[in-house]
Amino acid sequence: MSHSSLSHDQLLDRLAETSVRVGLNLQKGQQLIITAPLDAVPLVRRITTHAYKAGASLVTTFYNDDEALLARFAHAPEESFDTAATWMADGIAKAFREGAARMAITGGNPTLLKGQNPDHVSRVSRAASRANRPAMEIITQFATNWNIIACATPAWAQQIFPDMPEKEAMDALWKGIFSASRADTENPVQAWADHNRVLHNRSTLLNKLRFDSLHFKGPGTDIDIGLADGHLWAGGAEKAGNGVVCNPNIPTEEVFTTPHCSHINGTVSSTKPLFHQGSLIDGITVRFENGRIVDAHADQGEDVLNRILESDHGARSIGEVALVPHSSPISQSGILYRNTLFDENASCHIALGQAYTKCMTDPEGLSEEELIARGANHSIIHIDWMIGSDKIDVDGIKNGERTPVLRQGEWVLD
Amino acid sequence: MSHSSLSHDQLLDRLAETSVRVGLNLQKGQQLIITAPLDAVPLVRRITTHAYKAGASLVTTFYNDDEALLARFAHAPEESFDTAATWMADGIAKAFREGAARMAITGGNPTLLKGQNPDHVSRVSRAASRANRPAMEIITQFATNWNIIACATPAWAQQIFPDMPEKEAMDALWKGIFSASRADTENPVQAWADHNRVLHNRSTLLNKLRFDSLHFKGPGTDIDIGLADGHLWAGGAEKAGNGVVCNPNIPTEEVFTTPHCSHINGTVSSTKPLFHQGSLIDGITVRFENGRIVDAHADQGEDVLNRILESDHGARSIGEVALVPHSSPISQSGILYRNTLFDENASCHIALGQAYTKCMTDPEGLSEEELIARGANHSIIHIDWMIGSDKIDVDGIKNGERTPVLRQGEWVLD
């Protein structure tokens, strides 16, 4: 299937086309808003071209610059760390409400803010979360079509492959991205159609079985995760609120749903490090009682973890549980990407914070309180962390009866 | 005065510091919004650092990409050319109203859109002008401190110095920018204080004399330009509506005021080409009757000129008249920069379109109609073009009496 004979530029162009046609399924007349690191300029230009070819009325790109952020941490006055560009975030939310699609390109330095004052890091993150909330709600409610893809950058590549020269590390990272994104197949659009069918079959089956809860068991993990009343499993291509069928994550290997934020009990341990906004958190173990984290420990970055848990009330519960077989291609690559988009698709995971209302039956018309009463957690954060491995068994429980879903990390339900 | 011993990085840092301290006079706690071409990343990073050192609460940069714009012209559907990012422009206007300062970095390819469909070029420009109007009004009313500076880019340098290799052309353009911006002096802040004093003396004198009109005479030019009732001359550092004294243009060599949009009669010819949004307009001759252009000709780009004049009602009159001696350093460099920020400071000029209300006495409290009745033109455009040379004489006329202001392009009033 793999076309190793394609040049880098050809592969880059296929990734751009895949993101526009499969990831966004961009519609004629839609505006498109892209956020990207400065290193992504060549990819953004190709996405822009494919977007206009698909009929985009306007493509607007916001570039973020790691160096400018470091200058802020180095020189800005104290008040800066509680400041965010609310005026810009509100403008973006308005564009989404008026029908714009959203493309996020990830690939920044995973540990950019390592060594910065953790109080400043956490305040900047909280101020940004608050400002971005109106726009993020549109994304979590899946009201418009959106897509996130990755771009290799030297800072990211060097952290994954610290022993390689820069050029070689970049090539290896691009190879991983092209492969996981299926841009290196003969026909990426067809490859994604086939893959989406596998994921749809899994979510359809789980929606038929309607488990009350999932039980995860493995080293450091023994936890019952109740599922929300009227939860829905999703995965692969889905229809957004504006009617557009798109693939929000490229790559994606998960099926996922909404846990019940009051019915989670037990202990769960991370199986891969979490890289959150430039900080590393590793060796996480947390204990839940009645849906809330009452005990949290991390071998590294425990202070960052505790600050995350203090973001708001909902930060101490979870809004997503996702199943990914250990044999997923990303997992099999053996690469720890230090980037959630990739690492969460190599492993079962849960997400602290906000639930996706699309993973609930009939969410429209329900108030925030009613959604919470049905178990859908509410928070300004949504942070995935990895709990799967080849040593994890997962059972689905309904009326006390157990059905094996994963054994030793592999899918056994059919 | 010139410090040719400084390295390029040192000069770049001085230019950044000059733009923040002299150009913006950025205040503690202000947000700063930068617009810049992608080639300006190294300059933007230095400006960002100086801005945070000056106490900026947040610096937000919008990068524009010539390649993305070309992709739009090459592939976008017809409706795209009437579309603008109004949601973003509104957000920026909101930020200005809430106290943000504005930095614009110019330096894009002066003829980027040469050869594109002129109808598309004009529609894109009109849609952008409409969307940007709320933000532009804050700038033309000088309600907040703002600054525009230049950054050398390969596409720009190559057009000024077509016979030089890229590196040499870039060095020559940077030399011109550093020199015109006084970044190469021993103490740029002091050099700007001295220069501002010269410009203030000229505008103070003109404000004392209160001419009814200016008469420009030279090859192809014989025109009476009435001045608005209650016009004010300005130039150099000025106090913005938020109380901050700043230098909006770096470089600047002009004193300028508001003409009377009903009292302009005669013919005026351009003395340098005008590069407007990627198009070249050269050899302009226009005839005014009672303040309005009734006849317009250009040797090159006449179609673009005519489209500009059709932008709205006010596009057929002028909102600014500016006096620049022919001996200005930029003029003496002999370089045609093909960029308004530089070329307008090498020559007397007028601007089609919107007047600067700061060039009127007591503009606050006056309605748009009252301002127009006093002669201050109103339009969505503001486009400077050059009418000065060493062959132009300018007289000030008051109650029929003539006072020489410029002779053979040189300042003679004192």
Instruction: List the single residue in A with minimal CA-CA distance to B97.
Output: A87
Tokens of A98: 């008026």
Domain edges within chain A: 8-180, 197-411
- Say yes or no to pLDDT of B256 above 50: yes
Specify the pLDDT at position B88. Answer: 97
For residue B399, the model assigns a pLDDT of 96
Residue A304 is encoded by which pair of tokens?
A: 């960052």
Q: How far apart are CA A164 and CA A186, in angstroms?
A: 29
Model confidence, pTM = 0.88
List pLDDT tens digits, range A74-94.
Answer: 999 999 999 999 999 999 999
Residues B95, A85: C-beta atoms closer than 8 Å: yes
- Whether B80 sits inside 8 A of A56 (CB atoms) is yes
Nearest to B91 among A61, A79, A87 (CB): A87
Q: Which of A48, A83, A98 sits opposite B87 (nearest CB)?
A: A98
What's the CATH fold of domain A8-180? Thermophilic metalloprotease-like (3.40.1830)
Give the confidence band of B364 by pLDDT, cuts at 50, 70, 90.
Answer: confident
Q: Tens of pLDDT along B207-254?
A: 999 999 999 999 999 999 999 999 999 999 999 999 999 999 999 999
* pLDDT in the model for residue B365: 77
Using only the alpha carbons of chain B, give its radius of gyration: 20
Identity of the residue in B45, B74, B85 whose CB atom sits nearest the CB atom of A58: B85
Tell if the CB–CB gap between A63 and B58 is shorter than 8 Å.
no
pLDDT of A349 > 60? The answer is yes
Query: Does A77 contact B45 at a Cβ distance shorter than 8 Å?
Result: no
- The band of A368, judged by pLDDT with boundaries at 50, 70 and 90, is confident
The chain A residue lying nearest B33, using CA atoms, is: A85
Mean pLDDT computed over every residue of chain A: 94
Residues with Cβ within 8 Å of residue A304, at least 6 apart in sequence: A118, A121, A122, A276, A279, A281, A298
Q: Judge whether B413 and B393 are in contact, CB under 8 Å.
A: no
CA distance B87 to chain A (A): 5
Separation CA B36–CA B17 (nearest Å):
16
Q: Could you report the per-residue pLDDT of A252-300, keeping only the tens digit for each?
A: 999 999 999 999 999 999 999 998 877 889 999 999 999 999 999 999 9
Give the tens place of pLDDT for each residue, B393-414: 999 999 999 999 999 999 999 8
What residue of A is the nearest CA neighbor of B70?
A49
Band of residue A352 on the pLDDT scale cut at 50, 70, 90: very high
Residues of A in contact with B68 (CB under 8 A): 44-45, 48, 59, 61
Neighbours of B197 (CB within 10 A): 11
Of B45, B53, B100, the CB nearest to A68: B45
The pLDDT assigned to B1 comes to 43
Contacting residues of B for A80, CB less than 8 Å apart: 52, 56-58
In chain A, the residue whose alpha carbon lies closest to the alpha carbon of B60 is A85
Q: Residue A4: which pLDDT band, with cuts at 50, 70 and 90? A: low
Name the residue in chain A with its Cα closest to that of B98: A87
In terms of Cβ atoms closer than 10 Å to its own Cβ (0-12, 13-18, 19+), residue B28 is exposed
pLDDT in tens, A166-187: 999 999 999 999 999 999 999 9
pLDDT at residue number B278: 74
Residues of B in CB contact (< 8 Å) with A are: 28-29, 31, 38, 41, 44-45, 48-49, 52-53, 55-63, 65, 67-68, 71-72, 74-77, 79-80, 83-85, 87-88, 90-92, 94-95, 98, 100
pLDDT score for B4: 62
- The secondary structure of residue B104, as a DSSP letter, is E
Distances (CA, A) of B365 to A73, B356, B368: 43, 15, 10
Which residues of chain A neighbour B134 with C-beta distances below 8 Å? none
Per-residue pLDDT, B3? 52
- Predicted complex: ipTM over 0.90: no
* Residue to test with chain A: of B65, B69, B87, B130, most A Cβ within 10 A: B87
